Structure 1
Amino acid sequence: MDPVTLFPTAYDDPADLADIEAVPLAERGLPATTYDVLARAAELWPDRTALVVLPDAERWEEPVRRTYGELLADVHRVANLLRSKGIRRTDAVALLAPNCDQLVTATLAAELAGIAAPINAALSAEHVRHLLDLSGARVLVAAGPDLDATIWAHAQELLAAGAVETVLRLDPTGAPSPDGLTAAAAACPADRFEGERPVADDIASLFHTGGTTGAPKLAAHTHHNEVVDAWSVAANSALAEDAAIFAALPLFHVNALVVTLLAPMFHGQHGVWAGPLGYRDPALYGCFWRLVERYGVTAMSAVPTVYAVLTMVPVDADISGLRFAVVGASMLPPGVRRGFEEHTGVPLVEGYGLTEATCASARSFAGHPRPGAVGQRFPYQQMKAVRVADDGAWVDLPAGSVGTVAIHGPAVFPGYITGRADDGTFVLDGLGKLRDGWLDTGDLGFVDGDGFLHLTGRAKDLIIRGGHNIDPALVEDALLAHPAVTGANAVGMPDRHSGEVPVAYVTVSADVAEDDLLAWAREHVTESAAAPRAVHVVDALPLTSVGKPFKLPLRADAARRAVAEALDGLAGVADVRAEVVDGGVVVTVAADAGADEAAVAAALDAFALTWRVER
């Protein structure tokens, strides 16, 4: 069935990259679509376990299991149900639910019958409605009342308002209801899909970019994008066919779909899926190592904060089968790496990716560590650093030079959804992120001579002090070198003289004075202009729902502090607060009737920020 060239004979060493690319991608014989990936697995290994899904962390020993043959049959049933609801090739199916057994089926079925459009239920109602409108989804697959009562109520509101025409209910894992998706699809054919099957260039999914900085955008992924990226992950020859991949990230995130669902299918491996809360479930950590032993977990994927927590969890089981743990989404503090590896004996390997490049674009190697790098580029993908000139032109930089990271290759998305054409297909636009097939990642870094990517920060996170661009990583790296610091974020604080100046927020593992941390930073920061004005110790650094650093709340706090200092002693000023509004920071000055608003304006007009007075 498969060409002998489907996978390389070895891919566990950086030196393997050249041999892999000696075979053109077109000659690899990859499945054309995500449905073909599943159908292939069901034909080769019909009785092999595909999924082990836990109801929740409290019932971690009561999983629901499905074989590849059973999963394919269930996907056929649900895809045929969606077709009966009017879903065709270019129609989006919205999915709004925490992880559960039925959500896996629904996601794969949506990509077969139409287009999957997962939505983070933690987004505001306004942003959820925006995504529904942008995708044009008329069918919503949502968590039922027994799985998440809040989501179910929201789904009913959307139905009543006419935002969607049909709501299909998802039940908790292991507890199907007479009104749930499984029951609704039971009478549909299980041996085939009766509609038009997708092809490689069809859109498979629409993943939103977050919604943490203004209205979220919808990034389109083709079936070819997802298949190639999942193949790149699966090409790892360090994992055998009996590998078990732990999955605890939400399915509205590309990592969950590509890395922990699609990639294992290529080798007939299986995923062990945590309950609805995933890594956010405190109860998970109490049984985590026993879970790893019980289900033979071979690899896992998580964000740095998860590994920081696991470092504090006693290893009370045999975890010798855990070959490595993948970390991504944000920079890995050296202390977290050191602590986790010393505590568990399990190597942490970094990866790099973003939604606009489908998911993963670079990987590290457990047996070949490359300090400071997040990974080597995947086969058939290209990476470079560029300098963006004043006129917008890109200037390619030599290996080792820091610039904006750009990616080219088969996993780069075709664009964001901006509307519909007359024929019903989506209108796609790179919105400034695409140039001649190259993706502007918005990350700062450099690529070394071996194709390893080294990140130094985010272009949009630059702190501009009197016209001097400051990379926050200069401050963050200096503070992370302190033995007590476990996390660090640097942001710009408004300043009347310099526009903004660096300040830092840190988490610590031991008592340490902020003044001592400030002195440390000023001693270790390599650029004098980057020396922070202040260092603030916090209980936790803000993150998005998928574990990425979220600096806007810190910028808001820095703005609040700057304004409060500027207005200190001014009569009538009762309070100063700051909030994130549409991707920016707005400062509100609460003042009583006796406050001199002109004096407030005189004090704040020198700041480059948005403010208002509230009486």
Structure 2
Amino acid sequence: MSMAPDGLRLPDHRGPDDLGRIESVPLSEWGLPRSTWEILDRAAALWPERTAVGVLPSMDDIDAPVTLTYARLRDDVVRLADTLARLGVGRGSAVSIVSPNTAGVVCATLAAQSVGVSAPVNPALSTERLGALVAAAGSRVLITAGPELDAGVWQAVTEFAPGSGIEDVLVLRPDNAVGSPPALSALAGVRVAYLSEAVRDSPGAATTSGPPQPEDPAAYFHTGGTTGTPKIAVHTHANEVAMAWSLAAHPASGSEGTMFAALPLFHVNALLVTCLAPILTGRMVLWGPPDGYRDPGLYPAFWRLVARYRITTMSAVPTVYDALARVPVNADISTLRSPVVGAAPLPDAVRREFAARTGVDLVEGYGMTEATCASAVTLPGHARPGTVGQRLPYQRIKAVDTHPATGAWSDLPPGEPGLLVISGPTVFAGYLRDGRPDADGVVRDGWLDTGDRGSVDEDGFVTLVGRAKDLIIRGGHNIAPAVIEEALLSHPAVTGAAAVGKPDRHAGEVPVAYVTLRGGADGSTGEELRQWAAQHVPEPAAAPKEVIVIDGLPTTEVGKVFKPALRADAARRAVAAELSALGGRARLAAPGAADNEISIGVVAPRAEIDHVCERLDGYTVHWHLVREEEPEVPEGETEKEST
């Protein structure tokens, strides 16, 4: 057990048997800070001259990061917090942040939480979606990338900010910006200023609103992909402090050396794993360039970064490690001990190739935004094949069976798969509804419905089966995509796999799979892989009807496989096959802007409409006929919808 001068204690957490000993001490007796602001304030008092943050403005010069000591980071946060307070931000007020990663975004996130609520938004979303999320958070102050940092984001802000309820826009420049900034567009009804100018007159004194309390909201994180309006999850300060503490204590995180960060700060992993947790132990975090792992220049230089900054820990998604496994090691990377992987299933091929390339095993974990970040992490040296690690201290995880008629839960014995539910101090306050957190429908008696299927053994090690919503239902028979994906990933040529349901007239849906292959595996075909999967899945019903080889699986901004796009593609393939079988002129319309939604346009001559309707009305997809441009077709007569 280690103890800081102020009384905060971090437990010895080295092996599976330590969990019971740790939890024999009430969480309240470990001396946790009361808020994320207190985490930073404490670090600045203990280690004022240590480097807290290093940020690479670009990959052009890896030896010239912008750096902040803990004392400087605290001072910058206080000055910005004071500025936000003068703009009317108070406890419970959201500050939306729309920007790629910079040192300014780190400061803005911590400052917003110290006086109000940080509400980061994925800057890659459409203008309409950005505006909707900012409005849903109720933000009156927006911190955003300016034209030098991200011209596309700035253009979007100029379009949605007027009339959105935003009163003040504070604009970020690149961390290495020099000279006078460009003039900013005037926005009707909105005050606009560069953030650096807005904080210039701040006295740097603590705000008068008082420090945040554990139950106060700290952050709004939007969840989900890029279709529909994402939900906004509310984290309290108690949620984030408990999460940061358990991560800092976990042996995968370690307490020494430099941590590398490059996931976007609108994602919980970036904030909790690579920001708040290392602040608790006074570590330096080296942040990659603004585009993070999406910057192609990062990969050729990555091993030199590890050697230059003696990186010991990092956090990324499987697609990142797949890319790194292809980069020859050209530097001394002996400091790298704990590369943590999560957010998506880890293909065995990626695990094997990364270890072969680096000599370092990946550390797998499992978590979700609604449980603040991580709920299970592999213990280095104690990995259990097939699991995503052991539950973290004070988080309870169990599998339950759901009664088909009543929806009631009943606990399942260890090792038996079912719906995974989580309780403990990191379960979120709820989704933001009408300005308040509401957990109704997602948390029952303190237990969070994860929507994931899996099992938990007697020692708290978690095995995932798949997302409940991703189940493929073939003639009423539930098939977990994971069993198909695991079968395909066992093929030596496959580097990525995703199974989805393809609409079927008779079975409702049948399984199909999309795969990516390693370079040079040109001899592997979809048919060969389909046969391989049929021989390796646990039951005939899970054998995919088709395996489609593609260049890359669609992913979200943080690297999760984006299955809605694959389900939409599978549906279009099913409809296209039906139209082809008709032998006429009916065809698919070109996909629209929302081509990841299962809403399919069909172009058909008037004479074939009845046949098309007869064939497609048997599918559980949304489709519509689009008028063929023929003079003899009256206005509106070929329009039909079927669900």
Residue 513, structure 1, aligned to residue 525, structure 2: yes
Q: What is the aligned counterpart of 1:551 among 538, 563, 567?
A: 563
Change (3 A) 1:2 1:191: farther
Q: Distance in 2 between matches of 1:434 and 1:238?
A: 29
Query: Is 1:145 paired with 2:147?
Result: yes
| 1:417 partnered with 2:432 | yes
| 1:526-605 correspondence runs (5 A) | 526-568=538-580, 569-576=582-589, 584-591=597-604, 593-605=605-617
Per-residue CA distance 1:517-556 (angstroms, 9 max, x = gap):
1111111111111111111100011111111111111111
SS at match of 2:297: helix
Instruction: Describe the SS at the equivalent of 1:142.
Output: strand
| Aligned partners of 1:553 and 1:579 also within 8 Å | no
Residue identity in the other structure for 1:339: E
1:113 to 107, 112, 115: 115
Residue 559 of structure 1 contacts residue 578 of structure 1 at CA under 8 Å; is this kept in 2? Answer: no
Deviation at 1:231, TM superposition (A): 0.4
SS at match of 1:59: coil
* SS of residue matched to 1:554: helix
Correspondence for 1:423: none
Preserved CA contact (<8 Å) 2:131 2:164: no
Letter in 2 for 1:42: A
Q: Could you say which residue in structure 1 is the equivalent of 2:186?
A: none
Deviation per CA, 1:591-610, whole angstroms, max 9, x where unpaired?
A: 2x454211110010111111
Does residue 482 of structure 1 match 2:491? Answer: yes
Q: CA deviation at 1:90?
A: 1.4
* 1:66 shift after superposition: 0.7
Preserved contact between residue 487 and residue 508 of structure 1 (Cα < 8 Å): yes
Q: Is the 8 A contact 1:412 1:439 kept in 2?
A: yes
Give runs of aligned pairs for residues 17-416 of structure 1, distance below 5 A. 17-175=19-177, 180-237=194-251, 241-390=255-404, 391-416=406-431
Q: Distance in 2 between matches of 1:72 and 1:541?
A: 41
Partner of 2:439: 430
1:29 and 1:57 map into 2 onto residues whose CA distance is: 40
Query: d(CA) in 1 for partners of 2:589 and 2:151?
Result: 36
Q: Give the Cα–Cα distance (whole angstroms) in 1 for the partners of residues 264 and 450 of structure 2.
A: 23
Q: Deviations over 1:238-260 (max 9, x none)?
A: 66644211000000000010000
CA contact (8 A) 1:579 1:585 kept: no
Q: Separation in 1 of the partners of 2:433 and 2:595? A: 19
The residue correspondences of 1:490-505 to structure 2 (distance < 5 A) are 490-505=499-514
TM-aligned CA distance change 1:55 to 1:3, over 3 Å: closer
User: 1:605 is aligned with what amino acid?
Assistant: D
Which amino acid in structure 2 is aligned with residue 522 of structure 1? A
Any conservation in 1 of the 2:317–2:342 contact (CA below 8 Å)? yes
Instruction: Return the letter of the residue paired with 2:543.
Output: A
Is the 1:556–1:580 contact (alpha carbons within 8 Å) kept by the matching residues of 2?
A: no
Q: Which amino acid aligns with 2:380?
A: A
Partner Cα distance (2:342, 2:286) in 1: 19
Structure 1 CA distance for aligned equivalents of residues 370 and 396 of structure 2 = 15
Match of 1:612 in 2: 624
The amino acid across from 2:113 in the alignment is: E
Q: Structure 2 CA distance, aligned partners of 1:596 and 1:171? A: 58
* Runs ≥4 residues deviating over 6 A: none
Residue identity opposite 2:625 in structure 1? V
Deviation at 1:281, TM superposition (A): 0.4
The DSSP-based 3-state class of the residue aligned with 2:286 is strand
- The one-letter amino acid of 1:71's match is L
Whichever residue aligns with residue 517 of structure 2, its letter is: V
Per the TM alignment, residue 123 of structure 1 is displaced from its structure 2 partner at its CA by: 1.6
Instruction: Give the unaligned 5+ runs of structure 2.
Output: 182-192, 628-643
SS of the residue 2:381 aligns to: coil
Please give the alpha-carbon distance, in whole angstroms, between the structure 1 residues aligned to 2:5 and 2:196: 36
Q: Tell whether the 8 Å contact from 2:579 to 2:586 is kept in structure 1 after alignment.
A: yes
Note closer, same or farther for the CA distance 1:375–1:526 as it changes in structure 2 (3 Å cut): same
CA distance in 1, matches of 2:607, 2:481: 37
Matches of 1:543 and 1:462 in 2, distance apart? 19
Is the partner of 1:368 in helix, strand or coil? coil
TM-score scaled by length of structure 1: 0.96
Q: Whole-Å Cα distance in 2 between the matches of residues 574 and 239 of structure 1?
A: 54
- Between stretches 366-375 and 253-262, larger displacement belongs to 366-375
Report if the CA contact (8 A) 2:140-2:165 is conserved: yes
Q: Hey, what's the Cα distance between the residues in 2 that align with 1:359 and 1:239?
A: 14
- Residue 472 of structure 1 is matched in structure 2 by 481
Q: Which moved more, 1:109-118 or 1:569-578?
A: 569-578
For 1:485, the aligned partner's letter is V
Are the counterparts in 1 of residues 252 and 340 from structure 2 also a CA contact under 8 Å?
Answer: no
Structure 1 Cα separation of the partners of residues 559 and 477 of structure 2:
30
Letter in 2 for 1:575: L
Offset at residue 389 of structure 1 (A): 1.1
**Separation (CA, whole Å) in 2 of partners of 1:330 and 1:576:** 33
Distance across 1 between alignment mates of 2:103 and 2:555: 26
Task: Describe the SS at the equivalent of 1:89.
Answer: coil
CA contact (8 A) 2:253 2:338 kept: no
Q: Number of matched residues? A: 608
State the identity %: 53
Q: What secondary structure sits across from 2:9 in the alignment? A: coil
Q: CA deviation at 1:159?
A: 3.0
Alpha carbons of structure 1 residues 508 and 595: separation in structure 2 relative to 1, 3 Å: farther
More moved, 499-508 vs 566-575: 566-575
Secondary structure of 1:168's counterpart equals strand
Q: Secondary structure at the residue paired with 2:171? A: strand
Hey, what's the Cα distance between the residues in 2 that align with 1:471 and 1:555? 15
Residues 562, 162 of structure 1: CA spacing in aligned structure 2 closer, same or farther, 3 A cutoff?
Answer: closer
Moved more, 215-224 or 126-135: 126-135
